Structure 1
Amino acid sequence: MLAGDLYDPMVPDLVARREAAAEWTRRFNTTDPTDAAGRADLLAEWFGSVGDRVTVEPPFRCDYGEQIHVGDDFFANYGCVFLDVCRIEFGDDCLLGPGVHVYTATHPLDAESRRTRLEYGKPVTVGDEVWVGGRAVLNPGVTVGDRAMVASGAVVTDDVPSDCVVQGNPAEVVKRLDPPA
């Protein structure tokens, strides 16, 4: 699964891991809204790695949790979904609007292969100082460069260069930003 090979998501170990993640998300999503320290502890317990000053607003959903890595000063607003059959990595100073979805899970293109219910994954990597607007989708295998901005509702199907704004479905570069001096 982690290598991007076809795998059966219904093998007992993977089912058990998703069930554990569902229990974790239930606990996380029902935390006291004023208990920032408790939420931080839960994120550190479940995510693969967590930087300093990380905020994830409930409700939040993920497949496994341990494939999610977030840097310092990460903020994910309400309703984000991370399908982490492969690594999802966010750099430092990333901001996610409400309802952002990040998918690493994907399926074969031909119908005969899809009928087997086998799937595979491709990692998603997001650089530093990236802003992803509400309801945007990052698809399997994409990389978003440093300081990029993904507009609300964008569907990212290809890599996003650093220092640009993308929007639309599929997302396209609409503006180049000045890189830092």
Structure 2
Amino acid sequence: MKTEIQKCLDGEIFNTSDPEIRDLIKRARDITKEYNYLASTDTVRKNFFLTELFGSIGKNVSIDTPFYCDYGRHITIGDNVIININCTFVDCNRIDIGNNVLIASNVQIYTATHPVETNERLIENWTEINSNPFFRTYALPVKIEDNVWIGGGVIILPGVTIGKNSVIGAGSVVTRSIPENSVAFGNPCKVIRENNLTV
């Protein structure tokens, strides 16, 4: 029988009030609270908290504060990554960030979502899955490949992959995956042209 975490990672409806999940959320909240109060120059303690928080983290990673996430352990980060101020990662499912990635301020990455149809989203008898009342929840992974630049205020929705060497313009809402070597922006985000400066 699957745990609620396994259901979550498999993209199935899961119980957001499951004790293991609530413990993960509390742990992430405690770590990020401590992290967000550290001095910007306290690199030793910052690296310690990030290593404790994330599933894995590479070399030369800078995450400015404040930073927020749900579980922490579902986030993996490669080498040479900058995440600027006030970013929020809702990592119910995996958020995988590659190498040489620049994420500007106020970027939001969401893996959690809900059924669109009202009768599928609402729970009439919420004890059917022992969940918090009213809403069914599932989650889909997000992947940001190598050499990507995500502009300020971008929102990335569940199930999206941003292909390597791509640039997402500020303020975009990324509802679908973006192919490699693209410059894309807008709401919904669309490819505007090819990015020829590939690595």
- TM-score of the aligned structures, taking structure 2 as reference length: 0.88
Q: Are 2:183 and 1:165 aligned?
A: yes
80-89 or 106-115: which moved more?
106-115
* Aligned position for 1:126: 144
Identity of aligned residues (%): 35
Counterpart among 171, 174, 198 of residue 153 in structure 1: 171
How far did 1:180 drift? Answer: 3.4
Contact 1:40-1:55 at 8 Å conserved across structures: no
Q: Are 2:72 and 1:65 aligned?
A: yes
Moved over 4 A (4+): none
1: CA distance, partners of 2:16 / 2:198: 43
1:23-75 deviations in Å (ceiling 9; x for gaps): 11101101112112211121111100100001100100100000000000011
Q: Are 2:81 and 1:74 aligned?
A: yes
Instruction: Give secondary structure in 2 for the equivalent of 1:175.
Output: strand
Letter paired with 1:126 = I
* Aligned position for 1:104: 111
1: CA distance, partners of 2:88 / 2:56: 17
Instruction: Give secondary structure in 2 for the equivalent of 1:85.
Output: coil
Counterpart among 33, 40, 45 of residue 33 in structure 1: 40
RMSD over equivalenced CA pairs, Å: 1.1
Counterpart among 11, 18, 21 of residue 25 in structure 2: 18
Contact 2:104-2:152 at 8 Å conserved across structures: yes
117-126 or 13-22: which moved more?
13-22
16-25 or 162-171: which moved more?
16-25
1:109-164 deviations in Å (ceiling 9; x for gaps): 11122222221100001110000001001110000000100010000011101111
Q: Are 2:56 and 1:46 aligned?
A: no
2: CA distance, partners of 1:180 / 1:21: 36
Contact 1:154-1:171 at 8 Å conserved across structures: yes
- Decide which structure has the larger Cα Rg and report it: 2
Counterpart among 169, 176, 180 of residue 194 in structure 2: 176
Provide the aligned length of Structure 1 versus Structure 2: 181
- TM-score of the aligned structures, taking structure 1 as reference length: 0.97
Letter paired with 2:38 = T
Instruction: Give secondary structure in 2 for the equivalent of 1:165.
Output: strand
How far did 1:8 drift? Answer: 1.4
2: CA distance, partners of 1:178 / 1:123: 28
Instruction: Give secondary structure in 1 for the equivalent of 2:193.
Output: strand
How far did 1:179 drift? Answer: 5.2
2: CA distance, partners of 1:38 / 1:12: 29
* Aligned position for 2:101: 94
